[in-house]
Amino acid sequence: MPNIKLITFDLDDTFWDISPVIIKAEMATRSYLESHIGKQDWGSMSDFLSYRKELIKEDPSYEWDIGALRKKIYENKIKKANLSHSEQQKLVKRCYKMFLKLRHEVGFYDGVYEAIEELSKNYSLGVLTNGNADIFSFEIGKFFDFSISSYDVQSNKPKKDHFVMSKNKYKNLEFDQIIHIGDHPVNDVYGSHVLGINAIWFNKNNDGWDNHDIEKPIQFNSWKSIVKLISDNYER
């Protein structure tokens, strides 16, 4: 059995529940924007998602540059208002800054901090995210050696780029010496497993495993159990 040297982690829905945070950030930013340019029609959530898809079709880089995508959405709203170009640009920037700040107001799941602190004593730790949360903006960031976002690799998990970049940070590290932990059966578990990385599934809601392309992975639903789960299943 290979010795594990590096453990990488997904962020959203792995360290914290993201959807209430995004909804709150989205709503607050919309109100802020409306306080400058008047009431806007945002449509339903599914309208909003299809609008995002349309924009991604026009510019595929939005797929991995979600910050630029978000700014584009604000820009399109703001450009209809009666503001000078520089006022428009400033407002886009302020909206984005506000969103990003609120997007970091997350509540870590119980036990994450303690688990990460403990694991950092024996392994190198890294973050692999498709989102734009910055782990180094939290105290827990001090336990991590690196963080790789979709923007950094111009690609999203389950594609291999995040995983390959993390491996390449260490000399002579092999994929089978890495554990990747995440909530998403495809983006995290499948994406890492197919490269030979040891995938662990954070399965908070005890969902069934229906990704039959690969065997059911090792899983856990409480961060209080992860340190033991790793030492029981892997050599160090």
By CB under 5 A, tell whether 183 contacts Mg ion: yes
State the helix-helix crossing angle for 226-233 and 112-119, rounded to 10 degrees.
40
Tally of CB atoms within 10 A around 183: 21
Among 12, 63, 65, 161, binds Mg ion (CB under 5 A): 12
Q: How far is CA 235 from CA 6, 20, 134, in A?
A: 12, 38, 30
By CB under 5 A, tell whether 191 contacts Mg ion: no
On the 0-12 / 13-18 / 19+ scale of CB atoms within 10 A, 129 is: buried
Are 127 and 11 contacting, i.e. CB atoms less than 8 angstroms apart? yes
Task: Please report, as residue ranges, which positions from 199 to 228 form the binding site for Mg ion (by CB under 5 A).
Answer: none
13/117 with CB nearer Mg ion: 13
Q: Shortest approach of Mg ion to residue 2 CB, angstroms?
A: 26
- Please state whether the peptide bond connecting residue 158 to the residue before it is cis, i.e. omega within 30 degrees of 0: yes
Q: Shortest approach of Mg ion to residue 130 CB, angstroms?
A: 7
Q: Which of these ranges, 6-14, 40-48, 63-71, 83-91, lies near Mg ion under the rule CB under 5 A? A: 6-14
130/198 with CB nearer Mg ion: 130
By CB under 5 A, tell whether 10 contacts Mg ion: yes
Tally of CB atoms within 10 A around 82: 7
Q: Which of these ranges, 64-72, 114-122, 164-172, 175-183, lies near Mg ion under the rule CB under 5 A? A: 175-183
Q: Which of these ranges, 9-17, 40-48, 50-58, 96-104, lies near Mg ion under the rule CB under 5 A? A: 9-17
Q: How far is it, in rounded angstroms, from Cα 62 to Cα 68?
A: 6
Which residue's CB atom is positioned nearest to Mg ion? Answer: 13
Residues in contact with Mg ion by CB under 5 A are: 10, 12-13, 183-184
